[in-house]
Structure 1
Amino acid sequence: MSNTLRTESAAPPPTRRRLSRQERLQQLLDVGWRIVRQDGTEALTLGHLAEQAGVTKPVVYDHFGTRAGLLAALYQDYDSRQTALMDAALAAGGQSLAGRANVIASSYVDCVLLQGREIPGVIAALAGSRELETIKRAYHVAFIEKCRAALSPFTEIGAIGSAGLWAVLGAAEALSYAAATGEITASQAKHELFETIVAVVVRSGHGGNSGAGKLADI
């Protein structure tokens, strides 16, 4: 029995797996979102993030460099999730104009609401920074091209002008953040965005049976 006890006591403690660089980055981003959600954007500093994540400051500085870099990384994290959500929804969505407009409106608003009120605070903290302008510009162009590819088949000429697509983007941002701050409901935001998308396509000229109708399942 004594030998058994000695054997058990001598067993080495379980080793902790070292996180890969990408896993560490995601951990830091998750903790960053938690700080913003609980304490506001003002509380998000590199030092506080390191403390809350249980890592040393050099680890955080190595990933983000500056506070602006951290905020920009949070915005990119949000952007990548929004893009993935919309891509999946478009792949599984309907093949009519109404179906495509429904998917775009619903997925955009839903992603903003999933992040709650945190993302407006991140954007406000980054306002005027070169990092945010670069990231937002790339995202805006990608969103517009995604909408162009999804909606152009429902026009007579097979194309939608850039002005209309920028109008869709502006409506999507304004309506989503109004829903996130409680100024309007999520259903109202989705419905108005749906109507805006359909109107842009109609003005571009749509032919045949477009399937345009009321926003469904909201």
Structure 2
Amino acid sequence: MALPPAAPPKRIRLSRAERLRHLIDISWRVVREEGTDALTLPRLAQVAGVAKPVVYDHFGTRNGLLAKLYQDFDLRQTAVIDAALAVSGPTLTDKATVIAASYVDCVLTQGREMPGILSALAGSPELERIKKDYQLAFIEKCREILAPFAGGRGMGNAGFWAMLGAADALSQAAASADIMPEEAKAELSEIIMSMTGRQS
């Protein structure tokens, strides 16, 4: 089914940042309604109602567009976790619950879109590096949050990678309705607490 153009009114001149935001939002819409394979720069220009050079100027290549979508997802995920942590309680249970719930909720917000984006990321060494950079940033955030509960030695890198793997697997299982979201959050929270407690 063809998506109708979703361009803003022609009289409104968007700033570069506003135009980028608009194109990213339209990109998510294309992925959600047509699938990741349908998201090309010409298709984005068509649906957004802009000239192709506008899209190429913002993203350069399809890989550039996919990288921006992954960055957009990561920024929102980070903002959700930071906001939840700011009002969370001080215990390990509080922190683990926030990390688990925020991670799962962010994946669920994107529904079926993220697996396609992640699959496309895996096909390019450049995009795989971007993904790994964001994974490392998430691990460092968790290391900082959980350090007060991990004893003198702290939690090793293997534990954090295991935690991240569990977070991805449980979130995707919830997104595909194999398990309930609350089950995913509860299990991930238990995993985080268990791995942290082992180091105490």
User: Please, what TM-score do these two structures have when normalized by structure 2?
Assistant: 0.92
Say whether the 8 Å CA contact 1:152–1:158 is kept in structure 2.
no
1:75 Cα deviation after fit: 1.0
Q: For residue 183 of structure 1, what is the aligned residue in structure 2?
A: 178
| Alignment match of 1:141 (pick from 136, 157, 164) | 136
* Alignment size in residue pairs: 192
Equivalent residue number for residue 81 of structure 2? 86
Deviation at 1:15, TM superposition (A): 8.3
Q: Deviations over 1:128-175 (max 9, x none)?
A: 212321211111111111111111101331622211111111111111
Among candidates 187, 190, 193, match of residue 192 of structure 1: 187
Q: 1:174 aligns with which of 166, 169, 174?
A: 169
Match of 1:130 in 2: 125
Q: Which runs of 4+ in 1 moved over 3 A?
A: none
The answer to whether the 8 Å contact 1:69/1:131 transfers is no
User: How far is the alpha carbon of 1:185 from its aligned partner?
Assistant: 1.1
Does 1:163 find its partner at 2:180? Answer: no
- TM-score, normalised to structure 1's length? 0.84
Cα pair 2:104 2:171 within 8 Å, conserved: yes
Which residue does the alignment assign to 1:74? 69
Aligned equivalents of 1:188, 1:15: Cα separation in 2: 47
In 2 relative to 1, CA 63–15 (structure 1 residues): closer, same or farther, beyond 3 Å?
Answer: closer
User: What residue is the counterpart of 1:37 in the other structure?
Assistant: 32
Partner of 2:52: 57
What is the letter of the counterpart of residue 106 of structure 1?
A
The residue aligned with 1:20 is: 15
> Hey, what does 1:119 align to over in structure 2?
114
Write the distance in 1 (CA, Å) between the matches of 2:150 and 2:28. 41
Larger radius of gyration: 1
Question: What secondary structure is seen at the aligned counterpart in 2 of 1:159?
Answer: coil
Tell me whether 118-127 or 23-32 shows the greater mean CA deviation.
118-127
Cα displacement (A) at 1:187:
0.9
Which runs of 5 or more structure 2 residues have no equivalent in the other structure? 1-8
Contact kept in structure 1, 2:153 and 2:199, CA below 8 Å:
no
Where 2:151 maps in the other structure, the secondary structure is coil
Is the 1:160–1:204 contact (alpha carbons within 8 Å) kept by the matching residues of 2?
yes
Which segment is superposed worse, 120-129 or 73-82?
A: 120-129
Deviations 1:42-82 (A, max 9, x none): 21111111011110000000111111111111111111111
The answer to whether structure 1 residue 47 and structure 2 residue 42 are counterparts is: yes
Letter in 2 for 1:175: L
In 1, Cα distance between the equivalents of 2:24 and 2:46?
A: 13
Give the secondary structure class of the aligned counterpart of 1:204: coil
**How far apart in 2 are the matches of 1:15 and 1:70?**
24
- Aligned equivalents of 1:154, 1:126: Cα separation in 2: 34
RMSD after superposition: 1.5
